Amino acid sequence: MTDNIKKLETQYNKYIYPKPCEDIENEYIKKNRYQECDPNYHWHKLWPEKKYERKKLNILVAGCGSDQAAILAKCNPIHKFTGIDISTASLAHQKKLITKHKIENLDLICDDFRQIKIEQKFDYIISTGVIHHLDDPGSALNFFDKNLTDEGVLYLMVYGDQQTEGIKGLKNVFKKLQFEQNSSSIKSIKLIIEKLKKNHPAIVFSKYFKDIHEDTGIVDTFLHPKENFYSIKDLINLLAQNNLIIKNFVNGRISSLTKYFVDNEAIKKKIQNFSIEDQLEISQILNWNDRKIDIICTKKRNIKHSKVYNLLDIDSLYVCAFQSINYKINLQNLKVVDDKNESAFEFKFLNKKINWNEILLGKKNLKELTVNFSTIEKKNFYHKISFMIENYVLDYSFHEIEDYNKYYAK
């Protein structure tokens, strides 16, 4: 076992992170809550090119922590899950959840996932908050590529390097003070944080990530022995070295861009001539919301299915709502509340009523929805819809969106 893995094992045995769910039924199912990587609710994000199928998928949760694999397995009994983690304490909690909820479709393995010999490749691999703690994150990506089926997808979450700037200085101070992963250092950190000015970058950061007020959150945020923070360019390079590309972003946190240039067509055109990597670098900086970069990746051979590297054929799209966004409909117009920010989208140029409730369900494609539109109405409508898709205000698929609630936990 490497020194890196030994330290991770020690930390995640002593400070399980994140704080685990105690009851999946009460905390998830009854509240109709689900994980962002849920294969049922996010089918159209994982495989927009494929019609929804009720077939059994082989799914790996690499670095599954204390509850993630159990929650996913309970909410998706049709699929087969394997959860791997180096922390026996985290897995012990998942075992409790397995017994409590009589989960039958989850195998747990305690090991470094890179050491496991896999017999059957995975259709879907999930690894959130894990590889940025490794000495060699590329070795994890290489393992994912080798163990994914040809059309398989990887849901990856790593830390970005912009928002975390706000805590880097403090981390260095705590290192200099030789703070360790123990209760007296945690107490000292809490006392120091309490005294920081309201506009200190770490306080701004804590408004987004409330768990820095809890012991495990403090350890994970300020006392972690190993963390890599990514610029999107470096991440794309690392993926490319391991035969992987980004298929889609899970949300617009780092990738929505054109919204910043909506009133300046000349700048927008200039930016659209930049490489994809340069555009994403700019959007990561402007959005400043990259503590968590959530991406869906696939093998390079599937590049034709990537939203990042292809223009979408608007006619054939089924647009739909993002589950995390609140849409307020007012006649033709739409107000969108995302992360407490509100934006208004006006469709006054249309001389007819539009049924947003129907559109957001994703049951008809845009060609069908605009069949009665005049040429100019259709052009303006498509322009606005493209803008909303580019900026992750509307989601899409190339197939009718399934009524996912029908299959939740069934």
Ligand X SMILES: C[S@@+](CC[C@H](N)C(=O)[O-])C[C@H]1O[C@@H](n2cnc3c(N)ncnc32)[C@H](O)[C@@H]1O
Q: Can you give the binding site for ligand X, defined by CB under 6 A?
A: 8, 12, 17-18, 63-65, 68, 84-87, 90, 112-114, 128-130, 133-134
Decide whether 64 or 223 has the Cβ nearer to ligand X: 64
**Residue 158 or 394 with smaller CB distance to ligand X:** 158
**What is the C-alpha end-to-end distance of the chain, expressed in Å?**
40
Query: Minimal distance in Å, beta carbon 260 to ligand X?
Result: 30
Q: How far is the CB of 12 from ligand X (least distance, A)?
A: 4
Residue at shortest CB range from ligand X: 65
SS3 at position 363: coil
8 Å CB contact between 301 and 150: yes
Which residue number, 217 or 252, has a Cβ lying nearer to ligand X? Answer: 217
Pairing outcome for strands 58-62 and 80-85: parallel
Closest CA to 106 of 130, 72, 134: 72
Nearer to ligand X, 68 or 287 (CB): 68
Q: How far is the CB of 400 from ligand X (least distance, A)?
A: 31
| Antiparallel, parallel or unpaired: β 326-330 and 333-338 | antiparallel
Give 65 or 152: the residue with its C-beta nearer to ligand X.
65
What phi and psi values does residue 343 have, to the nearest 5 degrees? Answer: -130, 145
Residue closer to ligand X, measured from CB, 13 or 149: 13
Angle between helices 201-208 and 165-176 (to 10 degrees): 120
Please say which residue, 158 or 393, places its beta carbon nearer to ligand X.
158
DSSP secondary structure, 1-48, as one string = --HHHHHHHHHHHHS-SSPPPS-HIIIIITTT---TT-TTTTHHHH-T
Handedness of CA 84, 90, 92, 96 (dihedral sign): negative
CB of 259 to ligand X, least distance (A): 29
Can you say whether the dihedral through the CA atoms of 309, 149, 81, 1 is positive or negative?
A: negative
Q: Closer to ligand X by CB, 114 or 364: give it.
A: 114
The answer to whether the CB of 93 falls within 8 A of the CB of 66 is yes
Q: What is the DSSP string of 53-74?
A: -----EEEEET-TTTHHHHHHH
Q: How many CA atoms lie within 13 A of 193 on its CB side?
A: 26
Q: Name the residue nearer to ligand X (CB basis): 2 or 182.
A: 2
Strand partners, 327: 336
* Residue 369: HSE in the Cβ half-sphere, 13 Å Cα cutoff: 27
